[in-house]
Amino acid sequence: MGLSRVSSTTIKFVLLGVADRPRLEMLLFGIILICYTMTLLGNTAIIVVSRVDPHLHTPMYFFLSNLSFLDLCFTTSLGPQMLVNFWRKSKTISYGACVAQLYISLALGSTECILLSAMACDRYAAVCHPLRYTAIMSHSLCFKMAAVSWISGFSTSLVETVMTLRLPRCGQNRVDHFFCEVPALIKLACVDTSVNEAVLFASSAVFLLVPLGLIIISYGFIVSAVLGIRSAEGRQKAFNTCASHLIVVSLFYGTAIFSYLQPPSNYSRDQGKMVSLFYTFVTTMLNPLIYTLRNKEVHKALRRVMKRN
């Protein structure tokens, strides 16, 4: 047992990425560096403005700040290591760093699934019950919904991470991916992984399909309420409050479902990698842009903060 502990802490994984295609590697380095920089700037701006401007101390911006903080942590848990590896001949990662990547990225991805459904419930309350909105979405309820999102995400990630790391690899340490992700690590196992694949599929179904179903139901009620609004201006305003969230949901759930709701044995070598890069860097970069470009309240808040400074 002592020997196995030593070997597990001294082992290094090799992240293959696209090391066999140096030109593509340099192209991806530039794209990811731009996406990561814009993610840092955009999400930090949303968090700061939401905290500083009293007009944005509402449930919607409380959840949006949570989403921005989550996206910052998500990309930072993977981005720096990946950018460094693009320039290194030896694309290794220590066992501890690989475990951290695996646990944190899976935890934050699971948290985002629940958080997006909480944001849909907030939009439902705002559109369908505008007069009772502040009473329904109280500070305590918002805090509890956010807490459930974070706790459930980190709890399920702990189970998945432990199950994945317990699989014997028989000396295999070459991960065919840009970072340590469950499907890629399962493929290293030298034993039957059907139980791990079943657990991964089941937990993915729970964290993806159940919140997505809740979002669809919420928007069903929202559409019904919007169609009942007589004025075109009122319908347009209600639509604008929900359009940004719908775009973010479509981007996130579309790529996540493609990546996780299929057995790792069917995991396409290049498609899986590129889709992972998309939901890790492109969607997290687009989230603040989608929310700020379509949101007049954020525009006004940014102008107020800039004038104050």
Sign of CA dihedral 19, 20, 26, 31: negative
Q: Which of 22, 105, 24, 119 is nearest to 71 (CA)?
A: 105
Side-chain-side CA neighbours of 123 within 13 Å: the count stands at: 29
pTM: 0.86
pLDDT tens digits, the chain, 309 residues: what are they?
443 444 454 578 888 887 778 888 889 899 999 999 999 998 998 898 888 877 778 898 899 999 999 999 999 999 898 898 888 888 888 888 999 999 999 999 999 999 999 999 998 998 888 889 989 999 999 999 999 999 999 999 999 999 998 888 887 888 888 888 888 888 888 888 888 888 888 888 888 889 999 999 998 998 888 887 777 777 777 777 778 888 888 888 888 887 777 655 555 566 778 888 888 888 888 888 887 766 667 667 667 766 666
To the nearest 10°, report the CA torsion of 51, 56, 61, 67.
Answer: -30
To the nearest 10°, report the CA torsion of 83, 72, 45, 68.
Answer: 150
Give me the pLDDT at residue 6, please: 42
> By three-state DSSP, how is residue 12 classified?
strand
Give me the pLDDT at residue 33, please: 94
Give me the pLDDT at residue 280, please: 86
Contact present, 75 and 280 (Cβ < 8 Å):
yes
Give me the pLDDT at residue 190, please: 86
Q: Hey, how many other C-beta atoms are within 10 angstroms of the C-beta on 291? A: 22
Looking at residue 42, its amino acid is: G
User: Tokens 């949101």 label which residue?
Assistant: 295
In the chain the beta strands, taken as DSSP E runs, fall at: 12-15, 92-94, 174-175
Per CATH, which fold does 13-303 belong to? Rhopdopsin 7-helix transmembrane proteins (1.20.1070)
To the nearest 10°, report the CA torsion of 84, 87, 89, 92.
Answer: 10
Q: Domain residue spans in the chain?
A: 13-303
Cβ-proximal residues to 86 (8 Å cutoff; 6+ apart), any chain: 17, 25, 26, 28, 29, 32
Q: Which of 179, 203, 216 is nearest to 261 (CA)?
A: 203
Residue 103 to residues 16, 165, 180, Cα–Cα distance (Å): 20, 10, 9
Residue 5 to residues 11, 87, 166, 173, Cα–Cα distance (Å): 10, 31, 12, 16
Give me the pLDDT at residue 44, please: 92
DSSP state of 194: H
